[in-house]
Amino acid sequence: MAKRLIPTLNRVLVEKIVPPTKTPAGILLPEKSTKLNSGKVVAVGPGSYDKAGNVIPVGVKEGDNVLLPEYGGTQVFLGDKEYHLFRDEDILGTLHD
């Protein structure tokens, strides 16, 4: 019953990462370490149009780990899994190890 979503324009489908609130050893992490609001890009749209009618490609790609704004995004359920849709320009950055 799970459907696949191809976003329109510069929309980006993201699966949020729930940050751990404890270390593997069970020690509670301080709140600020757990506040990182990040997610994994699951699908991206074809891009939006600039004023001259050309397509501006989306700045992130499938598989990217992204930093998300604290508010915003549209909650979407596909099957029974929760995702969020963001506009390309609202994604704050990409995260790398």
Yes or no: say if 56 and 30 are a contact pair by the CB < 8 Å rule.
Answer: no
The token pair that represents 95 in the structure block:
């995260």
- The reply on whether position 17 binds a second copy by CB under 8 A is no
Yes or no: say if 91 and 16 are a contact pair by the CB < 8 Å rule.
Answer: no
Q: How far apart are CA 72 and CA 86, in angstroms?
A: 8
The token pair that represents 73 in the structure block:
């995004």
Q: How far apart are CA 37 and CA 67, in angstroms?
A: 6
User: How many amino acids of this chain bind a second copy (CB under 8 A)?
Assistant: 48
Among 16, 30, 61, 62, binds a second copy (CB under 8 A): 30
- The reply on whether position 5 binds a second copy by CB under 8 A is yes
- The reply on whether position 74 binds a second copy by CB under 8 A is yes
Binding stretches for a second copy (CB under 8 A) = 1, 3-9, 11, 13, 30, 32-33, 35-36, 43, 45-46, 49-54, 56, 59-60, 65, 67, 69-70, 74, 76-80, 82, 85, 88-89, 91-97
